Amino acid sequence: MKLPWKRKGESDDAWTGMGEDYPKGRDVGDEHRLSFFILRLLAVLLGLSFSGNIFQTAYNYWCIEKTQYLPLILKLEGNTDQVIAVRAASVTGDVGAMMAEGNAREYVRRRQQVLPDARAPIGGRLGYPAYYAAVAWLRARSSKEVFDQVTAERPRIEAAIEQHVTRSVEVVSASLRGTNYYQVDFRVTDMQNNQPIAGTGQTLYHAYLRYDWNRPVITREDVEKSDLANFFGWTVTMYAVQQEPPNRPAGAATGGAVE
């Protein structure tokens, strides 16, 4: 049998180091050549394996960037045949109304609450992780004009956090007052150093918000942080709060946060 790794013109006996006087054999200095050949072969195979892994990783990354994320709602239709229909979610009808009310309630809660927080390193600087997470969620669901209100409230909210003030929100009800127009009633309870602040928790507030269903722009980061993702493009375009019973001019009810 021809050995593929021997040199041209070299006999099998000379390569193996075994001459005609085998089993005595003779040393010709080539006893490690087979090992070298195997090592070179393994190196080539390992290089091909690494190249394949790199190509597969690049291809997967390219596919993820181009993937369209389509939200789905699992709808059960009867139990005769035990068939489950998976259909693309729609923002019309009962599903749209249910989603809009849920978003309106959650928007008001996150907009008005002040969570216990403390300064911590965020992106190379000190910040408030819980508050910034709420702001990021609101930004994904607010128009530029409405989010400008959120930004304007930031110094006051951060000052309250520094004074160990927290605010919990109890959403009492949410009712549709017109096309894409919700009224959300809520109460707040303010605490400082874990002690209730007198006079809070009884007053009822009304939040008024108008929203639209915009075309969502979903990034891979949104998918990885599913809490931030606004898959259906639900966006608040107007937001105002009023106290009940009213004790300030109507024109003052255009702000975003409870004072």
**pLDDT band, residue 208 (cuts 50/70/90):** very high
**pLDDT band, residue 88 (cuts 50/70/90):** low
Q: Return the C-alpha torsion angle 138, 229, 224, 60, nearest 10.
A: -140
Do 152 and 235 lie in one domain? The reply is yes
Give me the mean pLDDT over the 231-243 stretch: 90
Place of tokens 């002040």: 114
**pLDDT band, residue 38 (cuts 50/70/90):** confident
**Residue ranges making up the domain that contains 29:** 12-66
Do 111 and 169 lie in one domain? The reply is yes
Do 62 and 146 lie in one domain? The reply is no
pLDDT of residue 243: 86
Do 155 and 39 lie in one domain? The reply is no
Do 222 and 148 lie in one domain? The reply is yes
Do 95 and 32 lie in one domain? The reply is no
User: What's phi and psi for 114, nearest 5 deg?
Assistant: -130, 110
Q: Report long-range pairs for 145-149 (Cβ below 8 Å, ≥24 apart).
A: 145/237, 146/236, 146/237, 146/238, 146/239, 146/256, 149/239, 149/255, 149/256
Answer yes or no: is pLDDT of 60 > 80.
Answer: no
Is position 119 within any domain?
yes
Do 123 and 238 lie in one domain? The reply is yes
Which has more confidence, 7 or 51? Answer: 51
